[in-house]
Amino acid sequence: MRLVLIGTNSLSLTTGEMLLEGGHEVVFIEKDKQRIEDLSERIDAGFLHGDGTEPEVLRDAEPENTDALFCMLESEQTNIIASLVGRSLGFGRVVLSIADPQFQRICNELGLESTVFPNRAVASHLVDMLRGEKSLEMSALIRGDAEVFNIVIDEQDTGALEKLDLPQDTRIICLYRDDALRLPESISALEAGDEVILITRRERLDELKERWAPQNKHSR
């Protein structure tokens, strides 16, 4: 696969290096020419000089030949803008990182489905370490045709869990309310703003995406 990453911060570099180890083609977009020169001496990747939020620069990254665009800068607003520009230019998949969970609902409203929360993942892992527990990456647990999908509850979906009317072979794993983990059996009803984590079969993903697509939210 060919992957394009905006910026060369620690998260982008670590992700890019892991992708390179997996045999993928990686291209970094970086504004600092000197940093490109320094990194090109130790990383066997492609580099494109420019601002990754600008349409002209992203066009030069060849969206038609790219499998995914990663927007993982420090600013949530910048990542959202770059993701929207990238999507409009034809990148098949756009992945962005968000540090503040309050932006999750905004991303869902904008149709930016591939959102990651590195701060939450690291914090959860550290808490498990302090408890003496060994945490497993989700990728090691989800196998075969199983997929994880998350939705944010709006006013139309509030109420008892069974009223959510999920597709066949789809279950709630857990949910986050005010950034606190809640298990399904511990709540009596869903509230607006709840982030619900589902497990489903791959064949059900299109149905879930269609149902919770932003343009369909007010037509149900």
Task: Please say whether the beta carbons of 199 and 148 come within 8 A.
Answer: yes
128 within a domain of the structure (yes/no): no
pTM of the model: 0.61
199 within a domain of the structure (yes/no): yes
Tell me the CATH number at 95.
Answer: 3.40.50.720
Angle at 170 between CA 166 and CA 175, to 5 degrees: 80
Same domain, 115 and 14: yes
Same domain, 176 and 80: no
Q: What is the pLDDT of residues 49-85, one digit of tens each?
A: 999 999 999 999 999 999 999 998 888 899 999 999 9
Tell me the CATH number at 187.
Answer: 3.30.70.1450
Same domain, 11 and 97: yes
126 within a domain of the structure (yes/no): no
Mean pLDDT, rounded, for 101-125: 70
Q: Which residues span the domain enclosing 144?
A: 136-216
Same domain, 111 and 142: no
